[in-house]
């Protein structure tokens, strides 16, 4: 039985990490072990996993960009709607 630990991320993902090989796996060239894996620790990480963090960062970035672009568009349109003659006059 090899010892594993589990990392629980707040995004509901979890990772298993090998903590230590058992005697059998250590003596096997491929570290194969056909015994039951033994979970020694569960680590509650309290944060999303790296993959989800990267995804969140990318989404936040995209949202920030579209928010900036969107508000820019919105002010342009409200300006045009409030002052239709002004836009025409500015040309």
Nearer to Zn ion by Cβ, of 55 and 61: the residue is 55
List contacts with Zn ion (CB under 5 A): 1-2, 11, 13, 22, 25, 33, 35, 49, 52
Nearer to Zn ion by Cβ, of 60 and 65: the residue is 60
Closest alpha carbon to 14 in 38, 60, 50: 50
**Residue 91, C-beta contacts closer than 8 angstroms, at least 6 positions apart:** none
Nearer to Zn ion by Cβ, of 51 and 80: the residue is 51
Q: Can you tell me the distance from the alpha carbon of 88 to that of 91, in angstroms, rounded to the nearest whole number?
A: 6
Q: How far is the CB of 5 from Zn ion (least distance, A)?
A: 14
């Amino acid at each position: 039985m090899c010892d594993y630990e589990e990392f629980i991320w707040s995004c509901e993902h979890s990772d298993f990490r090998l903590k230590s090989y058992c005697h059998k796996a250590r003596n096997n060239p491929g570290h194969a072990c056909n015994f039951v894996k033994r979970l020694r620790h569960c680590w509650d990480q309290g944060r999303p996993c790296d993959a989800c963090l990267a995804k969140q960062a990318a989404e936040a970035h995209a949202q920030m960009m579209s928010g900036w672009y969107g508000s820019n568009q919105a002010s342009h349109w409200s300006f045009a709607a409030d002052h239709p003659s002004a836009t025409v006059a500015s040309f």
